[in-house]
Structure 1
Amino acid sequence: MRIDSCFFCGRPAWPSKGITFMRNDGKSFRFCRSKCHKNFKMKRNPRKLKWTKAHRRNAGKEMVVDSTLQFAARRNVPVRYNRELVAKTVKAIERISEVRARRERVFYKKRMAGKRAREVASARKLVANNEHLLPRLRGSEKRRLAELAAEQGVSIEELEAEGLANMRSSKKTLAFGGEKQRLRVRTDGGVETITERAEVSLLGEDDDDNDDDEMDTD
């Protein structure tokens, strides 16, 4: 069973699937789906469409020079049937597929090396250019951080980084201007002032809504 490649996108066109277009000069064009057939009739260049194999090869996202790719070349050479030759060919096809998959993984790792560092660098550049848009701490919060830093003997930057890490772990942040003060009477007759801060989820959803969603899913 021969599996042809799509003339437009390069995907495999399985037998009894897709569309075959016969031109007047006798040349046949095999397409894996109607999308490729329509783009071919509109005379679009597959190298300019990002979802085709031709574009990926030109962009360096696919292996182009490799010994395993030579076995996929079409050869119109008649060969006399031989059972042993067919068995060896089937085993060779499986082995070639394994080698090609391993080489593709190595190719992908090399191509994606350093992507995380580039993303972090671009994110830091974006924050540095738009630092004036970031929310600022109130005076009371700054004074509280300064007192905590003096007590613990650390810098304010370290405290801010620690608070940001805790905020990300809990997915909550303080809402500015959302403090409430109430009085609590102790058993010994004294009065205690309690300051409550309203918390807002970073995802833009309240905890009650999350609890309701969990109850619905159960």
Structure 2
Amino acid sequence: MRVDNCFFCGRPAWPSKGITFMRNDGKSFRFCRSKCHKNFKMKRNPRKLKWTKAYRKNAGKEMTVDSTLQFAARRNVPVRYDRELFAKTLKAMERISEIKARRERIFYKKRMAGKRAREVAAARKLVADNEHLLPRLRGSEKRRLAELAGERGVDVEELEREELAAKASGKKSKAFGGEVKRLRVRTDGGVEEITESFGGVVGEDDDEDDGFEDEDDEMDTD
């Protein structure tokens, strides 16, 4: 079974699959799929398309100099059939595939070494250059976060980061919520206006009975 490489992208074109194009001068071009055939007819350069083998080799993303690549070279030399030679060839093909896969993994690790550090450095540079666009906390918000951090026993900087992230995403933060004004009716008939946060009454304990009743509670005065 003869497996040719695609003339455009370099992928293997299996028998009975793909497209074969015969030019007027008798030269044949093998394509693995219609996508490669159409790009070939549009006279596109495969070295400029990122999904082709030619581009990846020029960009240094594929191995170009390796002893295992020489075995894939085409050899149109007729050899008399020998059963032992055929069996040895199959074993050698499996062993060469294993060696090639291992070398490709090593090549990939060396190529990607230091990528994380470069990404972090680029992100820090971007933040430093556009620091004036970052959201800022008001003084009242910083004091509220400091009090909340003292109650929870957590770091203030962590709460500030959560608050800034919530502001940037447009969501409400759990650390610092909005405030709601409510009317409470006292048991003696008086009405008092109080301010509550999303976590409860500011400066009061919800579990304690302070003699107030919420206006939202149902009251039967009859």
Same-fold status (TM-score > 0.5): yes
Q: Which secondary structure state, in structure 2, belongs to the residue aligned with residue 101 of structure 1?
A: helix
Q: Which secondary structure state, in structure 1, belongs to the residue aligned with residue 16 of structure 2?
A: coil
- Provide closer, same or farther for how the CA distance between residues 181 and 146 of structure 1 changes in structure 2, counting only shifts above 3 A: same
2:176 counterpart of 1:161: no
Which is richer in helix?
1
Instruction: Say whether the 8 Å CA contact 1:9–1:51 is kept in structure 2.
Output: yes
Percent of residue pairs bearing the same amino acid type:
80
Q: Which residue type is aligned with residue 174 of structure 1?
A: S
Instruction: Say whether the 8 Å CA contact 1:9–1:53 is kept in structure 2.
Output: yes
Distance 1:92 1:79 in 2: 17
Q: Which secondary structure state, in structure 2, belongs to the residue aligned with residue 174 of structure 1?
A: coil
The corresponding residue for 2:128 is 128
TM-score, normalization: structure 2? 0.73
The corresponding residue for 2:16 is 16
TM-score, normalization: structure 1? 0.74
- Provide closer, same or farther for how the CA distance between residues 90 and 148 of structure 1 changes in structure 2, counting only shifts above 3 A: same
Instruction: Say whether the 8 Å CA contact 1:13–1:32 is kept in structure 2.
Output: yes
| Alpha-carbon offset, residue 166 of structure 1 | 9.5
List alignment gaps of at least 5 residues for structure 2.
186-191, 200-222
What is the alpha-carbon root mean square deviation over aligned residues?
A: 3.3
Instruction: Say whether the 8 Å CA contact 1:68–1:100 is kept in structure 2.
Output: yes
Distance 2:123 2:27 in 1: 52
Distance 1:193 1:180 in 2: 6
Out of 174, 196, 199, the position equivalent to 2:198 is 196
Distance 1:166 1:2 in 2: 63
The corresponding residue for 1:4 is 4
- Provide closer, same or farther for how the CA distance between residues 66 and 165 of structure 1 changes in structure 2, counting only shifts above 3 A: farther
| Alpha-carbon offset, residue 143 of structure 1 | 2.2
| Alpha-carbon offset, residue 180 of structure 1 | 2.1
Q: How many pairs does the alignment contain?
A: 189
Instruction: Say whether the 8 Å CA contact 1:184–1:193 is kept in structure 2.
Output: no
1:97-116 paired onto structure 2 within 5 Å: 97-116=97-116
Task: Output one character per residue of 1:106-152: Cα deviation in whole Å (capped at 9) or x when no partner.
Answer: 11111111111111111111111221222211221222345678999
The corresponding residue for 2:43 is 43
| Alpha-carbon offset, residue 40 of structure 1 | 1.2
Q: Which residue type is aligned with residue 101 of structure 1?
A: A
Q: Which residue type is aligned with residue 51 of structure 2?
A: W
- Provide closer, same or farther for how the CA distance between residues 162 and 149 of structure 1 changes in structure 2, counting only shifts above 3 A: closer
